[in-house]
Amino acid sequence: MKHIVLLGDSIFDNAAYVSGGPDVVKQLRERLPKGWQATLRAVDGSVTSGVKAQLHRLPPDATHLVISVGGNDALGQSGILDQGARSVAEALNGLAAIREQFGRSYRAMLEPVLALGLPTAVCTIYDACYPEPQRQRLVVTALTLFNDCITREAFARGLPLIDLRLICDQKEDYANPIEPSVRGGEKIAAAITRLVTEHDFSRRRAEVFSRA
């Protein structure tokens, strides 16, 4: 019997945003093969450094880990989008510093996770859904820096990757600009199910899951 554990932030821990509808873990449980289990250990508001504490609460029979984290790290740095700069070089230098800091934090998060030796998958940060076109454009552009760190680590370590940018690609997938709706959660749960039932973790080869 397989036991999937969800780690990270409110991409998985989204019950507070779906107005009594099914959250991601409930929808995942409904989709998994008979006899499989799913447990939520992700915590709304968590950043990459918070995943380590979630590992202390893993079920003893956990067989697979799926991590979606980084959006709150990006949110914490979003003030840079409203800052001025005297040159393109100055603006890029500020973004580069944020990218480097996040890369270090994401690598540090992965180390204790992978040390457990369990099949593990990671997720990109989705594009979000801001109503203002200019804000959305800036957010999507800035998130490429964070997602570059995530995809590099996944590919370098042979981890399967769920690309949430391509899965939550409609306005209806969002309960608000940054949280998944019931529909978005359904698509995320479907992608996780597909990954854990189809991916061959024994090969230790990266594979991208870009649809449910």
pLDDT digits (tens, 9 = 90+) for 44-103: 999 999 999 999 999 999 999 999 999 999 988 877 766 676 788 887 788 888 899 999
pLDDT at site 82: 65
Domain harbouring 99, CATH code: 3.40.50.1110
DSSP SS3 for 119: coil
Residue (of 65, 43, 77) closest to 162 by Cα position: 65
How many domains are contained in the chain?
1
- Of 212 and 188, more confident: 188
The whole domain housing 76 covers: 3-209
Give tens-digit pLDDT for 112-166: 999 999 999 999 999 999 999 999 999 999 999 999 999 999 999 999 999 999 9
- The count of C-alpha atoms lying within 13 angstroms of the C-alpha of 110, restricted to the half-sphere facing its C-beta, is 24
Residue (of 167, 131, 174) closest to 18 by Cα position: 174
